[in-house]
Structure 1
Amino acid sequence: MPNTNPTGVVMPSVGGKVSSSALGRAVVADALRGVDPVGARGAEASTDWRHDYLVHFRRLVEAGLPSREAALTIARDGLASLHERMRYRSGTDGAEAPLSAAFAVGGEPLRTVTIAGRGKAERELVVPYRGRLLAGRELDLQLERWVSAGIIEPSCARIVQTVAANPGWLALEGHRVVVLGAGAEMGPLRALLRWGADVVAVDLPRPAIWERLQGLAQRYAGNLHVPVTGEDRGADLLHDLGRVADWIEGLDGRLVLGNYVYADGALNVRVAMAVDALTVRLRQRRPDLGLAFLATPTDVFAVPDDAVDEANRRYAEATGIGRFRRPLRVLSAGRLLTRNYPPELYPGVNDSLVPQQGPNYALAKRLQRWRAAEARAAGLPVSLAVAPATRTRSVVKNRLLAAAFAGAHRFGIEIFEPATSNTLMAALLVHDLNAERPAHEHPWQDEAFAAAHGGLWRQPYSARSALGIAVLMGIGGARG
Structure 2
Amino acid sequence: MHEEGLQFVRAPDGQRSSTRANRAICSAALTGIDPDSVTAIQNETNWRRQYPRYVRALTEAAAADPAQALAMATTGLTAAWQQVEWVRNGVAMPLAEAMRQPRPGAIHSVTLHGRGGAIEPFALPYRGQRLHGAALHAQIAHWEATGIIEPGCARALLRVMEHPEWLDLSDRVLVLLGAGSEAGPLATLARWRATIIAVDVPDPARWRRIAGLIRAGNGCLIAPSLQPVAPAAEPDQWLPLVGVDLLSHAPEIAAWLLSFARPLDIATLAYLDGERHLRVALAMDAIVATVSAARPDTTLMTMATPTDVFAVNEETALAAMRNATKAHPFGARLAAIVRTLSGGRLLQPHVRELITSANGKRYGIVDCLFLEQGPNYAMAKRLQQWRAIIARAGGQRVSMNVAPSTMTQSVIKNPALRAGYNGAGLFGVEIFAPETTSALMAALWVHDLRCHNCAANPDFPLDHPLELLTANANHGGLWRNGFLPRTALPLAAAIGWMKPQKP
Question: Taking structure 2 as the reference length, what is the TM-score of the superposition?
Answer: 0.91
How many angstroms apart in 2 are the aligned matches of 1:320 and 1:387? 25
State the match for 1:60 in structure 2.
58
Conserved in 2, the CA contact under 8 Å of 1:406 and 1:478?
A: no
How many angstroms apart in 2 are the aligned matches of 1:327 and 1:155? 37
State the match for 1:271 in structure 2.
280
State the match for 1:143 in structure 2.
140
Which residues in structure 2 correspond to 1:317-466 (within 5 Å)?
Answer: 317-322=326-331, 324-342=334-352, 346-436=362-452, 437-438=454-455, 439-466=461-488
How many angstroms apart in 2 are the aligned matches of 1:351 and 1:179? 29
| Deviation by residue 1:111-154 (Cα, 9 ceiling, x = unmatched) | 22211110123341101000010111111100011011110001
State the match for 1:252 in structure 2.
261
How many angstroms apart in 2 are the aligned matches of 1:257 and 1:344? 35
* 1:99 aligned residue (77, 92, 95): 95
Conserved in 2, the CA contact under 8 Å of 1:76 and 1:370?
A: yes
User: What's the offset of the Cα at 1:229?
Assistant: 2.7
User: What's the offset of the Cα at 1:201?
Assistant: 0.4
User: What's the offset of the Cα at 1:341?
Assistant: 1.3
Conserved in 2, the CA contact under 8 Å of 1:227 and 1:235?
A: yes
How many angstroms apart in 1 are the aligned matches of 2:450 and 2:387? 21
Q: Specify the code of the residue in structure 1 equivalent to 2:288.
A: T
Identity %: 40
1:297 aligns with 2:294: no
1:12 aligns with 2:9: yes
Matched position secondary structure for 1:341: coil
| Deviation by residue 1:6-32 (Cα, 9 ceiling, x = unmatched) | 320011111211111111101100011
Conserved in 2, the CA contact under 8 Å of 1:147 and 1:154?
A: yes
Matched position secondary structure for 1:187: coil
State the match for 1:477 in structure 2.
499
1:228 aligns with 2:222: no
Comparing 146-155 with 320-329, greater Cα deviation is found at: 320-329
Comparing 394-403 with 226-235, greater Cα deviation is found at: 226-235
State the match for 2:131 in structure 1.
134
How many angstroms apart in 1 are the aligned matches of 2:79 and 2:473? 28
How many angstroms apart in 2 are the aligned matches of 1:40 and 1:197? 46
User: What's the offset of the Cα at 1:108?
Assistant: 4.1
Q: Specify the code of the residue in structure 1 equivalent to 2:266.
A: L
1:164 aligns with 2:156: no
State the match for 1:311 in structure 2.
320
Conserved in 2, the CA contact under 8 Å of 1:122 and 1:195?
A: yes
How many angstroms apart in 1 are the aligned matches of 2:205 and 2:347? 44
Comparing 66-75 with 403-412, greater Cα deviation is found at: 66-75
Conserved in 1, the CA contact under 8 Å of 2:7 and 2:16?
A: no
1:74 aligns with 2:90: no
Q: Specify the code of the residue in structure 2 equivalent to 1:413.
A: V
For structure 1, the 5+ residue unaligned runs are none
Comparing 374-383 with 104-113, greater Cα deviation is found at: 104-113
How many angstroms apart in 2 are the aligned matches of 1:229 and 1:403? 41
Matched position secondary structure for 2:201: coil
User: What's the offset of the Cα at 1:85?
Assistant: 2.1
For structure 2, the 5+ residue unaligned runs are 230-240, 356-361, 456-460
Comparing 405-414 with 320-329, greater Cα deviation is found at: 320-329
Matched position secondary structure for 2:202: coil
Residue-pair matches, total: 475
How many angstroms apart in 1 are the aligned matches of 2:331 and 2:416? 22
Conserved in 1, the CA contact under 8 Å of 2:170 and 2:192?
A: no
Matched position secondary structure for 1:160: helix
Matched position secondary structure for 1:254: coil
* 2:214 aligned residue (204, 217, 229): 217
| Deviation by residue 1:160-214 (Cα, 9 ceiling, x = unmatched) | 0000111111122321010000100121111111122111100012211211111
Matched position secondary structure for 1:227: strand
Matched position secondary structure for 2:261: coil
RMSD between aligned alpha carbons?
1.6
1:194 aligns with 2:191: yes
How many angstroms apart in 2 are the aligned matches of 1:46 and 1:96? 29
